[in-house]
Each structure stands twice: as C-alpha cells, then as structure tokens.
Amino acid sequence: MRRKLVVGNWKMYGRLGRNKALLEEVLKGIKDLNNAEYGVCVPYPYLAQAQSMLQGTKLAWGAQNLSQHEEGAFTGAVAPGMLVDFGCRYVIIGHSERRALFHESNEIASAKFDAAIKAGMTPIFCVGETLAEREGGVTEQVVARQLEVVLNHAGVEAMAKTVIAYEPVWAIGTGKTASPDQAQAVHAFIRQQVAQLDGQTAQGLCILYGGSVKANNSPELFAMPDIDGGLIGGASLVAEDFVAICRAAHMAAQ
C-alpha cells in the first residue's frame, strides 16, 4: 500500500514564538499516529527553528520554494544547497501562488523541480486548474501539460522521488473544496499519465490533494483510492486542526 502523507504549507505566516507553540502542540498530537507521514513547509527564516525543534521527531520539514540555480548573483534567492544545509526533506515547487503572483511558468517550475531532485530533496510538485479552466472543460489538458513539462525534462524515474499535489486553484484558501469524487477523478488521471510511462512508478506515486482541506472533510478525501494525503494551508496553522487532519490520514492508512 502507498504511504499516506500530510504536509502543512505555512505560506507567509509565522513568528518565532507562535511557531514554537504550534510545533510543540503538533508534535504532542501526532505522537501516536504511526501509520502515516507528516511534514511542514515553513518560511525560509524559520528553517533553523524547524530543524532544531523537529530533528529526530515524526515531523519532517521543508521549504516552499527554491532557486533553480546552484549559487550566484541572484539577490534574494535561496539555493537548493542552502535548504539541504538546514535538513529540508521537502520543497514545494510550482504552487499556484508562485505561478500566479510570481509569474513562474511551467518551464521555471520544471527547472526548480530538477534542482530539488539534484540536491536530494523530495519536490512536492503542484498542479491544478483555475475556475475558468474547470468551467471550460480543460482541467485534464491543463494538468497534463503541467506534468508533461516535468516528465519530459526530468524523466519518469524522477517520479519515484516526487510527491505530486493536485491543488485546484479555485479551492485554495476559498473554503471551497473539490468533492472527493472530483478530486479522485483528477488524481486517477495524474496516476494514469505517469502509468503510461511506467506502471510501477505510478502505483507508488504519492499524490496529495490540496485546497481547503479541513478536519471535517479530510476523512472522506483520504478514503479515496488515489488520494494519498493532503497539502494543507490555512488549517496547518492551527495545531488542533492540523493534528485532526494528520489523524484522518493515520486512520485512512490503517
């Protein structure tokens, strides 16, 4: 059976004191949830805090972005090796906020994906359609294109070291979740795209759902055959909610 995974995406939220309280409570809450895996992707300045608090615990940590360059004159950018220095296991790539607000194209996301793999981290590669694209009936084309760029470039072998996150843009931070059936359909489609190249890799591929996952909708979502967990924004900032979602993954994996 594939593992279940829940990863918090803190986005641009956090302060040292708040993080400490949140992480302590989450660690306490997931102590006995042994069936699934858990992580948090924190803002860069808090990687050192995450590393010192989470080393040797059940909660892995990572970043929300990285530069595609190894080093150089790129003011304000953060190199893959720097994330490795702080023990990052995960790095989110191609989040829709990066794509929309920071103009990251499929090609840039693909270069960042390559950089993450090369540095030995697990990319959490985000795909998903906008509301207009869903209403226009092109969800599958959009997702296929986002995946294809990475598959063509890095090859299907890289999928063995990758987590995919399906995040419909219309569901992110809006309180509107894709229904379990809607999400399942796209997850199955993603798995099938990878299966066309390598069936075994596709079977092992961890595909998370993201977009307004909350404590109350997570059990239903995680029960779907191709939904292997969640990428959690808002609810990852409230310990009780995040732990409840982790528990749903733990239960679904039993």
Binding site for ligand PGA (CB under 6 A): 9, 167, 172-173, 210-213, 231-235
**Catalytic center residues:** 95, 167
CA distance 208 to 228: 5
Nearer to ligand PGA, 139 or 177 (CB): 177
Token digits of residue 128: 């998903």
Q: Name the residue number minimizing CB distance to ligand PGA.
A: 233
Nearer to ligand PGA, 48 or 100 (CB): 100
DSSP 50-114: HHHHHTTSSEEEEES---SSSSSS-TT---HHHHHHTT--EEEES-HHHHHHS---HHHHHHHHH
CB of 200 to ligand PGA, least distance (A): 28
Q: How far from 219 is each of 35, 93, 107, 189, 239, CA to CA, in Å?
A: 14, 26, 35, 21, 17
CB of 91 to ligand PGA, least distance (A): 13
Nearer to ligand PGA, 19 or 217 (CB): 217
Which residues is 166 bridged to in the sheet?
127, 209
CA distance 170 to 107: 23
Q: How far from 203 is each of 191, 207, 238, CA to CA, in Å?
A: 7, 10, 33
Nearer to ligand PGA, 89 or 153 (CB): 89
CB of 131 to ligand PGA, least distance (A): 14
CB of 126 to ligand PGA, least distance (A): 7
Nearer to ligand PGA, 156 or 207 (CB): 207
With 0-12 / 13-18 / 19 or more C-beta atoms within 10 angstroms meaning exposed / middle / buried, residue 135 is exposed
CB of 56 to ligand PGA, least distance (A): 26
* Dihedral, 68, 69, 73, 79 alpha carbons, nearest 10: 80
